[in-house]
Amino acid sequence: AQRVTQPEKLLSVFKGAPVELKCNYSYSGSPELFWYVQYSRQRLQLLLRHISRESIKGFTADLNKGETSFHLKKPFAQEEDSAMYYCAGNGQNFVFGPGTRLSVLP
Amino acid sequence: NAGVTQTPKFRILKIGQSMTLQCTQDMNHNYMYWYRQDPGMGLKLIYYSVGAGITDKGEVPNGYNVSRSTTEDFPLRLELAAPSQTSVYFCASCGQGYEQYFGPGTRLTVT
């Protein structure tokens, strides 16, 4: 079965510290993977997708097929990065992970 | 463009009542989705549609029905509401690419 897991419900870091949000997937074939973000009182929006290999708001994510992971990283966290982050995969169906709440402390 | 809009924003239902959650998109997207998000949980797919007249079940379709008579609208019907349907409901649409555009959500409480 297709599955996306995010082991951390809550992640707290200090401003300026590196941050890594973990995501692992279980898919047959080659799914397309995404990170979505939901800022307070806003709707979910796409942050980045693995195919584009781009950096958005300083975030990057690399697909590691050997470890079936798609971790989201940022070298220097900012307070405005505080939000809910969802990893998602699109294979046969679109599947979201449970989400990680990132809290960046001043 | 308004994007994806959902009504109502909030609703309280009594057990056994019925209601329709409305979803409209103005981006001419073929794909539309309904998700529910329970507290502390991720999004679960209820139903989706790949175009007008075509709908299919997602992961948790029981207790819900959908229709897609136009490209723009994808209403979600709850029949005989149950407390287990207390959740936040999100509608989303997707065009040629893989990016899903989400609505603001509907917070439903069944008591």
Q: What is residue A77's three-state secondary structure?
A: coil
Largest CA-CA distance found in chain B, in angstroms, rounded? 40
The winner for highest mean pLDDT among A15-24, A33-42, A93-102 is A15-24
Q: What's the pLDDT at B42?
A: 76
Chain A within 8 Å of B98 (Cβ-Cβ)? Answer: yes
Closest residue of chain B to A35, computed from CA coordinates: B99
Contact across the interface for A93 and B59, Cβ inside 8 Å? yes
Higher confidence at residue A61 or residue B39? Answer: A61
Chain B: closest CA distance from residue A60 (Å): 17
Residue B39 token pair: 């507290």
Chain A: closest CA distance from residue B103 (Å): 6
Chain A within 8 Å of B90 (Cβ-Cβ)? Answer: yes
Q: What's the pLDDT at B23?
A: 98
Nearest to B75 by CA among B12, B19, B14: B19
Among all chains, which residue has been given the structure tokens 């549609």?
A: B49
Chain A: closest CA distance from residue B60 (Å): 12
- Answer whether B100's CB lies under 8 Å from B4's CB: no
pLDDT band at A92 (very low <50, low <70, confident <90, very high): low
Question: How many whole angstroms separate alpha carbon B73 and alpha carbon B50?
Answer: 12
Contact across the interface for A94 and B59, Cβ inside 8 Å? no
Provide CB contacts within 8 A for B100, sequence distance 6+. A36, A44, A46, A94, B33, B92, B93, B94
Smallest Cβ–Cβ distance between B42 and the set A34, A93, A97 belongs to A97
From first to last of its 111 residues, chain B has per-residue pLDDT tens of 789 999 999 999 999 999 999 999 999 999 999 999 887 677 889 999 999 999 999 989 999 999 999 999 999 999 999 999 999 999 999 887 678 899 999 999 999
Q: What's the pLDDT at B97?
A: 65
